[in-house]
Chain A
Amino acid sequence: MPMIKKRGLREAEIPNSSMADIAFLLLLFFLVSTTIDVDTGIGLTLPEYIPPEEQEFAPLSKDRMAAILVNADGEVLLNGEIITIPQIEEKLKPRIEAKINLPKKKKLVVSIKTDRRTPYNIYIQVLDAVKKTYFDVQEEYARATYGKGLDDLNEEELNDIKKNKIPIIISLAEPEVVK
């Protein structure tokens, strides 16, 4: 008697109706745990460290220099004149613009000096104002020369502006030795 194995006609399938749910659960987990924290801030390159005994006094002509002093109360002094932070832009702008076509050795140097008790927030506001002035001048120069904004310039044009025409030179004054 032949034995015929009985085979069920059931379809062998992996149930995948719940796959979407599982995937959603994973998705939600990653959505919640993701912290897209972008690093934004004000970039700066610190000057090279030279030990105090080797430091030399490099004289800088007065018309190249924009010395900003910020005291402990957050008062701002630009070349000996008391100003407010929003005024930095209008004071610096003409001086930067006047030096666009001068060689690199004659560009404006912005020096920022603070007291030890100056609030960090004020310092950032000052630095921000200086940077913004530079960016504005660069943008205006780009529009006047190439007829387009900074973002649309090609590499070469951008380099010319950032390196040759309007380089951002911010110098942090050497901290004084605390007695």
Chain B
Amino acid sequence: MKFQKKRAQTKQEIPTSSMPDIVFMLLLFFMVTTTLREVDVYVQYQLPQAEAIEKIENKRLVSYIWVGKSGRIQLEDAIVKVDEIQPIMYKKRQALPNVIVSLRIDKNSDMGIVTDIQQELRKADARRINYSAMVKE
């Protein structure tokens, strides 16, 4: 008696015709969620770590101030001096009343410069701030 190997009659192929659709969907997702970095950061900084951390929900309200290791201050896209912060932030605050200022300050900075920036922000009446910090592991 001859045994015949049983074989499935269907085609043994993975249907790939819908692959482009799937890939395009992924692509669209990434395109929509991507926020391309608008500014170049000129200062070097390392954020401190903290536990009681909150997320900023609305990214559009945020404007950034960086303070680097060398003590240079960058406001949005330019390096500024401490006393230039107030007029810029005041204008910003008029355009966007509930602006949140995210302070990305190097963890080895002194409080002196932080206090100076805070005083400028208070004068500009941009009082909602957020000390950027990484999640502590």
A160 to B107 Cα, complex, angstroms: 35
Among B34, B108, B131, which residue has its beta carbon within 8 angstroms of that of A34? B34
CA distance A44 to B118 in the complex (A): 11
Scan B77-104; emit 1 where CB is below 8 A from any A CB, else 0: 0000000000000000000000010110
> Is A119's CB within 8 Å of the partner chain B?
yes
Of all A-B residue pairs in the complex, the 10 with the closest CB atoms, nearest first, are A116-B112, A131-B52, A49-B122, A128-B50, A132-B52, A121-B107, A23-B23, A30-B30, A39-B56, A41-B132
A35/B54 contact (C-beta < 8 A), A47-B122, A114-B115, A128-B133 known: no
- Is the CB–CB distance between B107 and A23 below 8 Å? no
Whether A82 sits at the interface, judged by CB under 8 Å, is no
A23 vs B19: C-alpha distance when bound (angstroms): 10
Question: How many A residues, CB 8 Å from partner?
Answer: 45
Which chain B residues lie closer than 8 Å to A39 at the CB level?
55-56, 59, 62, 102, 130, 132
Known contacts A34-B33, A132-B51: A123-B121 contact under CB 8 Å: no
Of listed A31, A39, A124, A132, residue having the most chain B CB within 10 A: A39
Q: Which B residues touch A118, using CB under 8 A?
A: 110-111
Q: Is A152 interfacial (CB 8 A cutoff)?
A: no
Q: Does B31 make an interface contact (CB < 8 A)?
A: yes
How far, in angstroms, from A19 to B107 measured CA to CA in the complex? 48
Cβ contacts under 8 Å, A135 to chain B: 52
CB proximity to B under 8 Å, residues A108-125: 114-121, 123-125
- In the bound complex, residues from chain B placing their C-beta under 8 Å from that of A70 are 111
- Mask of A38-71 contacts with B, CB within 8 angstroms, 1/0: 1111111111110000000000000000000010
Task: Find out whether the CB atom of A120 lies under 8 angstroms from the CB atom of B110.
Answer: yes
Q: Is the interface of A mostly helix, strand, loop or mixed?
A: mixed
Residue of B nearest to A128 (CB): B50
A8 at interface (Cβ–Cβ under 8 A)? Answer: no
B-side binding surface: helix, strand, loop or mixed? Answer: mixed
User: Chain A residues in contact with chain B, CB under 8 A?
Assistant: 16, 19-20, 23-24, 26-27, 30-31, 33-36, 38-49, 70, 114-121, 123-125, 127-128, 131-132, 134-135, 172, 175
Also in contact, A124 and B108, with CB within 8 A (given A23-B23, A27-B23): no
Chain A residues lying within 8 Å of B37, measured Cβ to Cβ, are 35
Q: Which residue of A lies closest to B118 (CB)?
A: A46
Q: Which chain B residues numbered 32 to 76 have a C-beta less than 8 Å away from chain A?
A: 33-37, 48, 50-56, 59, 62
Residues B122 and A119 in contact, CB atoms below 8 Å apart: no
Residue among B19, B30, B129 with the highest chain A CB neighbour number at 10 A: B30
Closest residue to B135 on the A side, CB-wise? Answer: A40
**Judging by beta carbons under 8 Å apart, are B52 and A128 in contact?**
yes
Shortest CB-to-CB span from B27 to chain A, Å, is: 5
